A and B are shown apart, each in its own frame.
Chain A
Amino acid sequence: DAGVTQSPTHLIKTRGQQVTLRCSPKSGHDTVSWYQQALGQGPQFIFQYYEEEERQRGNFPDRFSGHQFPNYSSELNVNALLLGDSALYLCASRGRGGRVNTEAFFGQGTRLTVV
């Protein structure tokens, strides 16, 4: 099992552009969460997907949107990129509907740089 996989690993975009990041959860997991980690900060919760629906959302603008597919993989889309969106984007998966007492497994992240 490769665990949680994210693609791409690095990405450079221009301000105003749109970006899509991808995540494949660990085998057997059905819930995917996305986090933004700015340099020197802890990860910040963006949103969580379960059964192809957004179940919870953190304090992020509507420019951040997502999707979950029937195979449980997920995408994070960011529109109208700002310089402040430059960060490491982490995907985490859980099993059994994302209940708190199941362990979250993290991917290696996608490093997004907006210039």
Chain B
Amino acid sequence: EVQLVESGGGLVQPGGSLRLSCAASGFTFSSNAMIWVRQAPGRGLEWVSSIRGSGDTTDYADSVKGRFTISRDDSKNTLYLQMNGLRAEDTAIYYCAKDRWVIPTGRFDYWGQGTLVTVSS
């Protein structure tokens, strides 16, 4: 059974940092592209970042470029999102999801339950 479990969310002050983790199981983690998607309270979904199965290609939304870094450790079956320079508008539930293929195709077939990040003083 495929499982994605996010962790690392919490309350952080503006300008602070957090590192989110997404522990994967039930599939060959290295064979799948992974993404982070966020959802601000009462708002819609926003793609944040993606990484290929090979880990050699990453992409970022303009809203987080230069502040967030996506990475993966295939030996630990874990996806990460390092978030620096956090702003109030980064407050959201952060979901990780897997793509069916090694490069992102939009077939995000499994999602975690999400972890809440709150940026506030």
Q: Do A and B bind each other?
A: no
Interface of A with B (CB < 8 Å)?
A: none
